Amino acid sequence: MKITDLYIDQDVLDLPATRVICDRLKMPGQVVDSADPVYEKLSRTAAPVDQGKKILFLTRNKGAFLRPCPGTDYYTCCNYTILHFGTFCTMDCSYCILQSYFHPPVLQFFVNHNDMDASLDEFFQQKKRARIGTGEFTDSLIWEDIYPFTSHLIKKFAAQNHAILEVKSKTVAIDHLLTLPHNQKTIMAWSLNTSDIVRTEERRTASLDARLAAAAKCRDHGYPLAFHFDPLIIYPGAEAAYRLIIEKLFATIRPENIVWISLGTFRFMPDLKAIIEQRFDRSKIIYGEFVRGLDGKMRYFKPLRIRFYQQIVSFIREFAPHVTLYFCMEDDEVWEKSFGFAPHQYGGLPMMLDQSAARHCGLL
C-alpha cells in the first residue's frame, strides 16, 4: 500500500488494530469524528478513484460483518456469505465495479475485530455448512502489509469444521500464511485472465505466472485451491489465449487440488462505461456486443456468450473432467446449453458447492 493520507475515526483510536497499523505505516493519522472530512477531501480532487486508492480510513463496521452475496432472482446465485471487513482496492482493474459502487471510493479498514469475532463465533455455533469469502468489496490480501488480518481468520476457521473461508486475490502476499495451521478450512483462490488482459486491464496486479506460482506454494502446504475466470472477456484471439492459460493452470496444479472453478463473462452497470473511458482511454473491453440484462447490467449477447462458454468449458473438461465448474450469475438456459444440465437437477448450485467443499475441506 502507498498511503498518502491516514484518517482515524476517533471511535476506534484506542483499538489494538489501529495501533498496529499506525506503527506499520509510520505516519501520523488525522483523527476525525466522522467520515465527512475524508469524503470532502476526495470530492475536491480531480481524480477521486485514483486518490481514493491512497487514502486510508480506519473506522468501525457499524453494520453486519456477515451478509449474503447481493445476487438477483433472475440469475442463479451460489448463496455465498460475505465477510465485510473493508472496502475498495489498491490495485486498478479497468472492469472493477468498485470504481462506481462506492461514492466516493475510499480505502476503509474496519478495525472493530472483537465485534467481527463475536459474529463469527455466533455463526459457527449454528454448525451449518457455509462458504464465506472476503473478496467481494476488496481484495482479500492487499491488507496484509499493514495488518495480519488473513492470518487471524485462517486460525479462527481452522478451529471449527462446518464453514470454509475463501481468500480470493490477484496478489501473491502468501508466504506468511504458508505455515499456519489451516486444517484445510481455508481455500486459497486466484482470479485468472489472459496475459493480454492482465497487462492492459489489470494494473498493479501480480502476473499470471506469479499467481500460479503462489497457488502451487499454497498447495504444497496443504491448502485447497480455487480459481475464477471472471470476467471472461471476448476479443479477437481470446479463445486461443484462454486455452493457453488453462493449459498452464493444469500444468501447474492437479485437478484434485481444486475445490471449484467459476466462470463469468464481463458484465457491468451502464454508468461504469464512462468511468472506464475516462480512466482507461486505451481499453476496448466496453465496445463488445452488449445488451442490457434482466439485472440492469450490460452483458454480452446471450448466444455470443453461450458459444464462448462452450469453448472454455470444453478446454477445462479436457484436463479436468470432474472438477466442480460453475457459472457466476447465469440463467438455466446458459447452464443447459453450456454444461448440459441446470443446477436444480443436482439440488441447486449452493448444494453442489457445499458438497465439493465437504469433499476437499473435510466439512462435517
The DSSP annotation for 134-165 comes to: S-SSS-SSTTTTT--HHHHHHHHHHT-SSEEE
Mean pLDDT confidence for 109-127: 97
pLDDT in tens, 195-215: 999 999 999 999 999 999 999
d(CA 107, CA 51): 10
Residues 6 or more apart in contact with residue 77 via CB below 8 angstroms: 69, 71, 329, 349
Give the Cα separation of 22 and 145 in Å (integer): 12
Query: Residue 260 — very low, low, confident or very high, per pLDDT cuts 50/70/90?
Result: very high
| 261, pLDDT greater than 90 | yes
What is the structure's pLDDT at 300? 98
Number of separate domains in the chain: 1
Taking only the tens place, the pLDDT of each residue in 38-94 is: 999 998 888 999 999 999 999 999 999 999 988 788 899 999 999 999 999 999 999
Share of the chain above pLDDT 70, in %: 100
CA separation, residue 156 to residues 147, 150, 215, 292 (Å): 16, 10, 21, 42
Cell, residue 7? 484518517
The model's pTM is 0.96
Phi/psi for 187 (5° steps) reads -100, 125
Query: Which amino acid is it at 324?
Result: T
The CATH number assigned to the domain holding 158 equals 3.80.30.30
Q: Does 270 have pLDDT greater than 80?
A: yes
Alpha-carbon gap, residue 227 to 171, rounded angstroms:
13
Report which of 252, 227, 253, 188 is spatially closest to residue 312, judged by C-alpha positions.
Answer: 227
Predicted confidence at residue 70, as pLDDT, reads 82
**What pLDDT score was predicted for residue 85?**
97
Q: How far is CA 1 from CA 24, 72, 79, 195, in A?
A: 11, 34, 31, 24
Domain interval for residue 248? 5-361
Residue 71 has a pLDDT of 79
